[in-house]
Structure 1
Amino acid sequence: MRAFAELLDRLSLTASRNAKLVLVRDYLKTTPDPDRGWALAALTGDLTFDAAKPAMIRKAVEARVDGVLFGWSYDYVGDLAETVALIWPAPSDRRPNREPELGEVIEGLRTATRAEVKGLLEGWLDALEPKGRWALLKLMTGGLRVGLSGRLAKTAAAMMRPETRLTPPSPDGAETITPLEPVDVSAIEEVWHAVPPPYGDLFAWLEGRAERPSPDAPGRFRPVMLAVAVDEAVDFPKMDPADYAAEWKWDGIRVQAVVEGAVRKLWSRTGDEISGAFPDVMEALAFEGALDGELVVWRDGAIAPFGDLQQRLNRKTVDARTMAAFPAAVVAYDLLADGATDLRSLSLRERRARLETLVQGHGGGRLHLSPVVEYADWDSLARLRADPPVGAAAEGLMLKRWDSPYVAGRPKGPWFKWKRDPHVIDAVLMYAQRGHGKRSSFYSDYTFGVWTEEGALTPVGKAYFGFTDEELKQLDKFVRDHTVGRFGPVRSVRAERDFGLVLEIAFEGLQRSTRHKSGVAMRFPRVSRIRWDKPAREADTLDAVMDLLDAIETGGGRIAKV
């Protein structure tokens, strides 16, 4: 447990992406099984413990410490795990002489009843030093939040791969050195959901001791193919419109729906299972295979605004009333597997033909086909993009080469995204302050920033409205859970390239400002959307904001969304 606690502590204090990779790689290389596997599962968010709840932790500490003192301390520190780790009193008798191992803690949390967990928790807290207590509580509550994405942790695992493998001596005493091919993170993602933690088979493959595990697990997640933003001036002259299919970029969230035998899964684009929040969709899907599409609320034969979908996101379960008020559906635009046949190596044209056949024969109102947009040239497509007949449910266009296979990652060239609605940016929450009046107990005033060329965040505006009361509670909780500093009444929120909350900010205009470090000021900014699904590194840049400002000043008005 001590090595895991040290890893979490160093990760939380390290801003550099490469340094985080090295820290995780070295931990995985030097830590024995099964502890390293459990650590990797925790870092990737694949560990949950139903018997361990924050209320139980609070009850345990309030039995040892004055409740008022704990309340004041918790309000000041702002983080439950950190508060308990610091305030937990050492036992009056001799401290236990053995700290628990990580695997021992995991096994205890997985097998113990809720009544038994309380006793285990108290014993572990007595045995650990403050840093170990903090790591234990973060592990129990699933809130590691050390600025490390799941994909980055898998990238670090891929870096474990040695360059060569030494085979055991043969009967004649000879040893053989065999070169090993590097492993890309997409190869790990391909098998990830087929290898349960603590990932013994995965490590054996990465270290060259065994063959690659089979990815063929029913309901598994397939690594997604992503698009790059199109540069009209640079890209269009090199592109033939006849080579590209155009379709609307629907204003929902990217999902992967998988039905394989009795296994039904709905995955987000980052590989998080969200099936529990959409049982109505999963029960209605009547195909065999895996498809890529957009999850939306479908009402009266059309896609409803994104705000309706938000009513169902970030829930483990959903009641019948909510499902009836916000009926969800999948708008499909790609077919990854048809039955047991993997289609990803086929061209988009071939995959599309099979997808059309599947959707046409499906029936019901939970699966729809994303139509191909007919166009003659880039100018006519630009006119459609500026004034789409589908309305606000489309935030732009997607351009996909008809001959492109489905490749994991973000390759340059096959797929492009061409967004509209220029007066919206994606920014990262940096600071928060309590509101006034009925909001005086909530952190409701938010400062947000965009990425500079040097990879740092610079503030570009403040917003304190545009969200619902329920969203305010979610934002307030995020601020309290991720506070990293205080400046008077202002809280600094954790915001790094691999961790942060992205807010979609809508605004009426931009102007140059010498009063702001970024050089720009926004007119009437508001939070138009909370992008729980978007990684912080994909937020907008200051260069893109300045390009928008230049376009507005020169009369360009509304240009493609930055």
Structure 2
Amino acid sequence: MRAFAELLDRLSLTGSRNAKLTLVRDYLRDTPDPDRGWALAALTGDLTFTAAKPTFIRKAVEERMDPQLFWWSYDYVGDLAETVALVWPARPGANREPELSEVVDALRGATRAEVQRLIEGWLDAMREPRERWALLKLMTRELRVGLSARLAKQAAADLAGVPVAEVEELWHALHPPYEDLFAWLEGRSEKPSSENPGRFRPAMLAQAIDEAADFAKLDPADYAAEWKWDGIRVQAVHEGGVRRLYTRTGDDISKTFPDVLDALTDEGVIDGELLVMREGRVASFADLQQRLNRKSVDARLMAAYPAGVRAYDLLAEGPEETRTLSFAERRQRLEAFVARQASPRLDLSPMQPFASWAELAALRAEPPPGDPQVAEGLMLKRWDSIYEAGRPKGPWFKWKRDPFLIDAVLMYAQRGHGKRSSFYSDYTFGVWTDGTDGQRALTPVGKAYFGFTDEELKQIDKFVRDNTIERFGPVRSVRAEPHAGLVFEVAFEGLQRSGRHKSGVAMRFPRISRIRWDKPPGEADELPTLERMLEQMEAR
């Protein structure tokens, strides 16, 4: 457990992607089975303990120390695992520190009644706060060390110098602690078979286009264009009688969308966008959110939010893999494949003809009529490109629409997590509206926690601490008046109506574009400005 704790600690303090990759690769190389496999499962999000809940952690610490003192400490630190790791009053004479595999084996077989006593025994045995922190992060599945699942798989692939796509294609045929994977990577056995029905194929991704540099050297005749739809990228698989729906990172969301999978009558693999579609028209992302992240769905929910896939590409047709064919060939076969399904749950993303980059720019400025806010921009794909895993340079580009901008006033700030747990880094901002007493008042319109530098974070954090007027646990209300406060220029991708928000509107992908230290809060935007923007979006 100590080596795993050191790995998490160093990952949380390392910003460099390559440095993180080296740390994980060295850990996997130097750590024996099965500990390294369980660590890899934890880093990729594939390790779950059904009986372990944060409630048991809180109960354990409240039995060891004054509950009020604990909650004051929790309020100050802002992170449960970090707080408990620091304040835990260990009892002398505890047993030896457990190995990672011991912890995993015990938690996988534990009942709810047993979890709290396990936690207490392990925390007593651990000498350093770092080890306690790692244990609690492992249990709650909140590692938050700035490492993606794909980067962890890349570290494993680097043990043998194989492409990460080979590991990704095997992944759903493997099970923790992945001893067969490591045996292959270390040359001790043959490569595990990926020929399991319903497997995931690693996704091909696009590069952001550089308008000044790329258009000058690219020929429009070499590229196809289609809209970049605002849903979530998925892979719909029907093979060997098995149906699966995966996100672009390989997460299986089949149980949440059985209606979508029923649309695949022929065997094949489609790359497309998961959307809510009514009579051929795409609904807003807010409607899709009603279906996401649910353990189960019922007929009422499926009828109210009918999901479907807008198809981009065909990766397999029957038993034949088509990824090595050109995009032009795959597109032709995709059109025939979708036509055979004859389902309202499955349609084609239409090609957008253009003869010049200027003509394409004009198209990008006018999203498709009748589908408000559902096209994020355009995709460009070389007609002769094969389907390659990862983000190869040149075959595919994304050209997103310019973001919308408003000036908003900081209203509330909350502590972050991990490296940001000591900073107020999550911000709620608002715009002006007419209050019930006839006076101008702020109404919240969004939240953001990125878009600023580390130095700017320190400056905003100081402003929050110096201008706090109320506290609500880890949240602070800050001074926000016409002549006193902090203005953010906020960028966002779109607006949608929302009954859950007091303002009646919700932003899509808001982030801090810049900090307007120079602007008085009274000159920030008003709610009618956003309402007019929304009306214009809906009128397209």
TM-score (structure 1 length as normaliser): 0.73
- 1:296, distance to aligned residue in structure 2 (A): 0.8
The whole-number CA distance in structure 2 between the counterparts of 1:29 and 1:413 is 34
Within the alignment, does 1:432 sit opposite 2:426 as a pair?
yes
Equivalent pairs counted in the alignment come to: 455
1:505-524 mapped onto 2 (5 Å cutoff):
505=492
The answer to whether the 8 Å contact 1:432/1:443 transfers is no
Paired residues of 1:219 and 1:259 also in contact (CA < 8 A): yes
Secondary structure at 2:64's aligned position in 1? coil
CA contact (8 A) 2:445 2:507 kept: no
Instruction: Provide the rounded CA distance (Å) in 1 between the counterparts of 2:299 and 2:236.
Output: 21
1:241 partnered with 2:220: yes
CA distance in structure 2 between the aligned counterparts of 1:307 and 1:507, rounded to whole angstroms? 11
Could you tell which deviates more after superposition, 346-355 or 123-132?
Answer: 123-132
CA displacement at 1:276 relative to structure 2: 3.3
- Asked if the contact 1:386–1:420 (Cα under 8 Å) also holds between the matched residues in 2, the reply is yes
Change (3 A) 1:424 1:435: closer
The farther-off stretch of 16-25 and 333-342 is 16-25
Deviation at 1:144, TM superposition (A): 0.6
Q: Distance in 2 between matches of 1:529 and 1:288?
A: 35
Q: Which amino acid in 1 is paired with 2:259?
A: D
The answer as to whether partners of 2:491 and 2:512 remain within 8 angstroms in 1 is no
Q: CA deviation at 1:360?
A: 0.6
Instruction: Report the equivalent of 2:451.
Output: 449
Equivalent residue runs for 1:319-358 within 5 Å: 319-358=298-337
Q: Deviations over 1:200-232 (max 9, x none)?
A: 122122222233222222222211111122334
Q: Would you say 1:274 and 2:272 are equivalent positions? A: no
**1:155-176 superposed Cα distances (whole Å, 9 cap, x missing partner):** 2223323xxxxxxxxxxxxxxx
Rounded to whole Å, the distance in 2 between the matches of 1:404 and 1:507 is 31
- State whether residues 432 and 444 of structure 1, in contact with CA within 8 Å, keep that contact through their aligned partners in structure 2: no
SS in structure 2 at match of 1:246: strand
Q: Distance in 2 between matches of 1:406 and 1:69?
A: 57
Asked whether the 8 Å contact 1:506–1:527 carries over to 2, the reply is no
3-state DSSP class of the match of 1:417? strand
* Aligned counterparts, 1:174-213, within 5 A: 182-213=161-192
> 1:135 — aligned with what?
134
Question: Residue 447 of structure 1: CA displacement?
Answer: 5.7
Deviation at 1:236, TM superposition (A): 3.1
Matched to 1:236, the amino acid is: F
Partner amino acid, structure 1, of 2:393: K
The CA distance in 2 between the partners of 1:213 and 1:12, in whole Å, is: 32
CA contact (8 A) 1:449 1:457 kept: no
Deviation at 1:434, TM superposition (A): 7.1
* Aligned-pair CA distance for 1:284: 3.7
Match in the other structure for 1:121: 119
Does structure 1 residue 24 correspond to structure 2 residue 24?
A: yes
User: What's the CA shift for 1:338?
Assistant: 1.4
CA distance in structure 2 between the aligned counterparts of 1:113 and 1:156, rounded to whole angstroms: 34
Q: Does 1:362 align with 2:341?
A: yes
**Partner residue in 1 for 2:394:** 413
Give the match for residue 74 of structure 1.
74
Confirm or deny that 1:109 pairs with 2:107: yes
Structure 2 residue 360 is matched with structure 1 residue 381: yes
1:372 CA displacement: 1.5
Deviations 1:2-42 (A, max 9, x none): 11111111211222222222221221111100100110111
Aligned partner of 2:275 in structure 1 is 296
**Aligned-pair CA distance for 1:394:** 1.6
Counterpart check, 1:225 vs 2:204: yes
What is the alpha-carbon distance in structure 2 between the residues aligned to residue 194 and residue 261 of structure 1? 14
Q: Aligned partners of 1:21 and 1:111: how far apart in 2?
A: 32
| Equivalent-residue separation in structure 2 for 1:345 and 1:444 (angstroms) | 44
1:400 is aligned, of 371, 381, 404, to 381
| Partner Cα distance (1:243, 1:445) in 2 | 41
Q: Distance in 1 between matches of 2:19 and 2:377?
A: 37
> Secondary structure of 1:372's partner?
coil
Q: Is the 8 A contact 2:36 2:177 kept in 1?
A: yes
SS of the residue corresponding to residue 361 of structure 1 reads: helix
With over 3 angstroms needed to count, the CA separation of the structure-2 counterparts of 1:263 and 1:49, relative to structure 1, is farther
Among the aligned pairs, what percent are the same residue?
64
Counterpart of 1:215 (choices 194, 197, 206) is 194
Q: Deviations over 1:186-205 (max 9, x none)?
A: 22222222221111122122
How far apart in 1 are the matches of 2:280 and 2:197? 32
| C-alpha distance after superposition, 1:114-171 (max 9, x if no partner) | 223333222222222332221111111111111111122122223323xxxxxxxxxx
Q: Give distance in 2, aligned partners of 1:489 and 1:82.
A: 26
Within 2, Cα distance between the matches of 1:286 and 1:80? Answer: 47
| Partner SS for 1:106 | helix
> Who is 1:316 aligned against?
295
Distance of aligned partners of 1:150 and 1:398 in 2 relative to their CA distance in 1, 3 Å threshold: same
Give the corresponding residue for 1:165: none
Q: Secondary structure at the match of 1:368?
A: strand
Matched residue type, 1:394 = A
Q: How do 1:144-155 and structure 2 match up within 5 A?
A: 144-155=143-154
Tell me how far 1:422 sits from its aligned partner. 4.3
Cα displacement (A) at 1:239: 3.1
Q: Which amino acid is the alignment partner of residue 451 of structure 2? A: G
Residue identity matched to 2:118 = L
Per-residue CA deviations over 1:447-475 (Å, capped at 9, x if unaligned) read: 64257xxxx7867x99xxxxxxxxxxxxx
Partner of 1:84: 84
Q: Which runs of 5+ in 1 are unaligned?
A: 162-181, 463-476, 481-485, 491-502, 509-525, 532-538, 543-562
Within 2, Cα distance between the matches of 1:35 and 1:417?
40
Q: Kindly tell me: are residues 448 and 372 of structure 1, through their superposed partners in 2, closer, same or farther at Cα, counting changes over 3 Å? A: same
1:409 alignment partner AA: G
Structure 2 counterpart SS, 1:404: coil
Matched position secondary structure for 2:154 = helix
Name the residue aligned to 2:285: 306
What's the CA shift string for 1:339-358, capped at 9, x where partnerless? 22211111112211221122
- The secondary structure found in structure 1 opposite 2:49 is coil
Unaligned runs of 5+ in 2: 407-415, 436-441, 461-471, 480-489, 496-504, 515-540
When residues 241 and 353 of structure 1 are mapped into structure 2, their CA distance, relative to the original with a 3 A threshold, is: same
Return the letter of the residue paired with 1:147. Answer: G
Structure 2 partner of 1:10: 10
Partners of 2:355 and 2:448 in 1: CA distance: 44
Shift of 1:416: 1.6
TM-score (norm. length: structure 2): 0.76
